[in-house]
């Protein structure tokens, strides 16, 4: 029997400052399994809708650059290929119990609090985003990665990335920092900066407070530093997805006869003694809030 257990990794001052931190079934709990892919190839798709507020298809190209920056590392020392599939006319994220699952990347440019009736049951069921194609999470969250994994093994089945275009003005250009309504030839919330961070979650990285890390959870307006993947995150790829070897679990090794790498919803372990229990985990990139100190005013 399948059990879906959603949780959100909260931004906390106690986050570690290690070069990299692996995502776990229970965030921060080293007694639980780490999350990781066991396939040799992971295909991801962008929604045909894109983001109407960025010029042309620049947001799609920025996304490709972000995935390519991670793929370059995998090509050098890893065992996983991140491959772009065709654009898809799809707007639903999450794991499907029946049918095919796509690893989807999309922008939500409508606020659920504006378009969804207050009495709609989707609020309690956390389904408004899919039902109304809107942004359902916290306003200060720039983007969120929703990952479905097996609770016993940590093996990832599906991962989707959503961008909060309802609240943030995403840009794809270089230049100085700017704020809406000015978003031309400058950087407000950079698509590539955001995507590179979220793809880290996509492959099994959690947040770290290490300065200069791609996986630092805050992103002030104008930031582009996360476009370049830091050394710690590179080391994660080489250590967890070593070329010529199996992807590395944190706890006991997971054997292929213990749990199929492509287990479907409703399936059981090959031995038939334990049910596959996929759970949902969400990781987010936040807006860095700055407190302005004003002096000399009454």
pLDDT in tens, 52-93: 999 999 999 999 999 999 999 999 999 999 999 999 999 999
Model pLDDT, residue 283: 64
Largest CA distance in the chain: 73
| pTM (2 d.p.) | 0.84
Q: Which domains are assigned to the chain? A: 6-286 (3.40.390.10)
CA of 237: how far to CAs of 67, 171, 176, in Å? Answer: 13, 28, 32
CA of 88: how far to CAs of 93, 104, 159, 212, in Å? Answer: 12, 9, 16, 34
**Nearest-angstrom CA–CA distance, 186 and 178:** 6
Model pLDDT, residue 252: 72
The beta strand positions in the chain, using DSSP E, are 6-8, 21-22, 41-46, 81-84, 103-108, 141-150, 156-164, 170-171, 189-190, 205-206, 278-286
Instruction: Give me the residues of the chain with pLDDT under 70, please.
Output: 1-15, 253-298
**Nearest-angstrom CA–CA distance, 19 and 231:** 8
* 194 CB-contact burial (10 Å; exposed 0-12 / middle 13-18 / buried 19+): buried
Model pLDDT, residue 28: 85
Model pLDDT, residue 201: 96
**Nearest-angstrom CA–CA distance, 207 and 22:** 8
Model pLDDT, residue 98: 77
**Nearest-angstrom CA–CA distance, 101 and 47:** 14
Model pLDDT, residue 258: 42
Q: How many CB atoms lie within 10 A of CB 247?
A: 23
60 by DSSP, 3-state: which?
Answer: helix
**Nearest-angstrom CA–CA distance, 185 and 178:** 9
């Amino acid at each position: 029997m399948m059990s879906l257990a959603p949780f959100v990794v909260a931004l906390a001052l106690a986050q570690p400052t290690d070069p990299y931190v692996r995502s776990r079934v229970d965030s921060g709990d080293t007694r639980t399994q780490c999350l990781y892919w066991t396939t040799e190839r992971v295909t991801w798709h962008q929604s045909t809708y894109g983001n109407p507020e960025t010029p042309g298809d620049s947001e799609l190209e920025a996304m490709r650059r972000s995935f390519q920056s991670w793929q370059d590392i995998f090509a050098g020392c890893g065992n996983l290929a991140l491959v772009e599939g065709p654009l898809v006319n799809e707007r639903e994220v999450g794991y499907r119990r029946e049918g095919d699952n796509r690893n989807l990347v999309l922008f939500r440019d409508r606020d659920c609090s504006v378009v969804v009736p207050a009495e709609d049951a989707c609020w309690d069921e956390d389904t408004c985003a899919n039902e109304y194609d809107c942004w359902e999470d916290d306003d200060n969250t720039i983007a969120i990665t929703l990952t479905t994994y097996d609770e016993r093994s940590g093996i990832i089945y599906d991962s989707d990335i959503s961008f909060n275009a309802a609240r943030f003005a995403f840009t794809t250009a270089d230049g100085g920092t700017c704020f809406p309504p000015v978003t031309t030839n400058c950087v407000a919330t950079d698509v590539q900066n955001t995507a590179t961070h979220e793809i880290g979650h996509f492959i099994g990285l959690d947040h770290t407070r290490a300065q200069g890390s791609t996986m630092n959870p805050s992103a002030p307006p104008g930031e582009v530093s996360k476009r370049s993947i830091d050394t710690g995150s590179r080391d994660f790829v080489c250590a967890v997805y070593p070329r010529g070897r199996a992807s590395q679990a944190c706890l006991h090794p997971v054997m292929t006869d213990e749990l199929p790498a492509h287990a479907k919803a409703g399936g059981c372990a090959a031995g038939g003694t334990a049910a596959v229990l996929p759970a949902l985990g969400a990781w987010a990139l936040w807006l860095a809030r700055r407190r302005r100190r004003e002096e000399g005013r009454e």
